Copies of this chain bind each other. A is one copy, B any other.
């Protein structure tokens, strides 16, 4: 998770930000938690690496990371805001309302629709991180899931 550390540091420098141990810790934490990291989860994970880290630092740092495009945030269901490292390939998420499983889908699958919206309404969709809820394959088949 750290092969790209240099890139990240570069990105911060280019934005006039300082590279602090806390910021690297938080970045690692977002990676470690994986796909949909709530602030609480990031805080807990970062706390393992640096027990002295403070909650406000997490808030401020995530805000800064979002601003420079290192991280995106999205609102998913009931858990409040979640954070995710921005990857090369934009993608979206399917959240199963029955079992809670989350899977990713490539952005390409949405593009035809986004194109159609652009044609019909002149609206340029920039949603980088869409969350679709519904029922996944497993839960759709079996009733024993509920």
Contact = CB atoms under 8 A, between A and B. Distances in A.
Contacts of A110: 113
A41 B120 CA distance: 31
A10 to B, nearest CB: 26
A123 interface: yes
Interface stretch (A20-28, A32-40, A46-54, A128-136): A128-136
Nearest to A103: B121
Interface in A107-134: 109-110, 112-114, 116-117, 120-127, 130, 132-134
B103 A109 contact: no
A90 B112 CA distance: 20
Contacts of A121: 94, 103, 105, 136-137
Interface of chain A: mostly helix, strand, loop or mixed:
mixed
Interface residues of A, number: 29
Nearest to A97: B126
Interface of A: 75, 94, 96-97, 103, 105, 109-110, 112-114, 116-117, 120-127, 130, 132-137, 140
Given A122-B140, A126-B135, 9 more contacts: A105-B120, A117-B132, A121-B136, A122-B136, A123-B135, A124-B140, A125-B134, A127-B134, A130-B132
